Amino acid sequence: MNIRPFKRPQPVRLGVLLLNLGGPEKLADVEPFLRNLFSDPSIIRLPIPALQRPFGWLIARLRRGKSRRLYEKIGGGSPQRRITTEQAAALQDELARQGVQARVYVGMVCWHPLIESTFQQVLQDRITHLVVLPLFPHFSVTTTGAAAKKLIRCFDQHGGVREMRRSYVTRYETEPGYIAALTDLIAEEMRRFPDPRPEAIQLLFSAHSIPTKYVERGDPYLRHHEQTIAAVMTVLERRLGTRPPHRLSFQSKVGPVRWLEPSTEDTLRRLAGEGHEQILTVPISFVSEHIETLYELDIQYQALAQEVGIPHFRRVPALNCHRAFIRGLAGLVRARLAAGYPLQAAEQAAGG
């Protein structure tokens, strides 16, 4: 009779991987960051795959000067890595407070720490269950899809890493903590206007645009934003007693293809023509400060507002480490653990 040797169960080691796009931390990083960005077919896809890498190098070389000047205006680099690291630490602390011991990692699509290098750290730490949590509340193949593809490629290159169970959060456009954080920040900023009455303030939800061809092929990005706005307006009405007027626009278009509209620039001009004097922009796509908020909204569109005669133009801060947002992320992690791995085992692991 053959007796199999006793194999002790592997101790539970929980990990959470936060995924984000990334951004250059200093001016010398700008060109290689752009090269990574425009070479990624999940973000900008060319009809001829062989041209993707040369295209990325060419566009990075052509845009480096302009992009460097923009980053100079916001302090010489993007704060996204620092803020994402702070979000990871806050999430790890919140999970521990809720009785779940997990290590939270950060992986970026286009800049350091790249997903590939973070994956190696996850392997070294012998994580047994990994929850993948993109910092993109609204799913798109250009954001969550691009990040997930890189991670899945890492797993495939290591034979699937069968001993590691993993769960994916793909969207959370109406997650209560996310909505609460947005609503809190909007309500707080509304009180700073000369006339704080809700009906006197025009809310402008500004989202990062994507090529319309993706939406036409079924990408839910636009629909998810509309659902977020509907949820926010419901909570605001409950808190304020009325709904402020609001619109959705899109920013950060790159290249000649057709992107989601109306643009934030055109919308500001239209609002000025309609006589609006108090406009509050809400960076709905961005959970951390980046060049889209610090330059486009705070500098470029602030100047445009003055130019077209909007005397009071303000911007809601990005979520960063807002307590409700971090609690919401923790709830998403716990939900995935409950679905893909017994939460009781996770809590037992936290207890030693």
pLDDT band at 5 (very low <50, low <70, confident <90, very high): low
Question: What pairing do the DSSP bridges indicate for beta strands 165-168 and 246-251?
Answer: unpaired
Q: Could you tell me what percentage of the chain is helix, strand and coil, using 3-state DSSP and rounding each to the nearest 5? A: 50, 15, 35
For residue 289, say whether it is annotated as part of any ligand binding site.
no
The amino acid sitting at 221 is Y
Structure-token pair, residue 100: 């779940």
The average confidence (pLDDT) of the chain is 91
Name the one residue in this structure whose structure tokens are 């979520």: 319
Q: What is 30-80 written as a DSSP string?
A: HHHHHHHHHH-TTTS--SSGGGHHHHHHHHHHHHHHHHHHHHHHTTSS--H
For residue 112, say whether it is annotated as part of any ligand binding site.
no
Residue 246 near residue 202 (C-beta atoms within 8 A): yes
What is the per-residue pLDDT across 72-124, written as a single tens digit (0 to 9) for each? 999 999 999 999 999 999 999 999 999 999 999 999 999 999 999 999 999 99
Task: Write down the pLDDT at residue 346.
Answer: 37
What is the per-residue pLDDT across 278-335, written as a single tens digit (0 to 9) for each? 999 999 999 999 999 999 999 999 999 999 999 999 999 999 999 999 999 999 999 9
pTM: 0.91
Q: What is 324-336 written as a DSSP string?
A: HHHHHHHHHHHHH
Mean pLDDT on 3-18: 74
What is the per-residue pLDDT across 193-231, written as a single tens digit (0 to 9) for each? 999 999 999 999 999 999 999 999 999 999 999 999 999
- DSSP H or E stretch at residue 236: helix 221-240
Structure-token pair, residue 265: 């620039």
Query: How many C-alpha atoms does 142 have within 13 Å on its Cβ side?
Result: 21
d(CA 79, CA 82): 5
Instruction: Name, in order, each residue with C-beta under 8 angstroms of 79's C-beta and a sequence gap of 6 or more.
Output: 288, 289, 290, 294
Task: Write down the pLDDT at residue 64.
Answer: 95
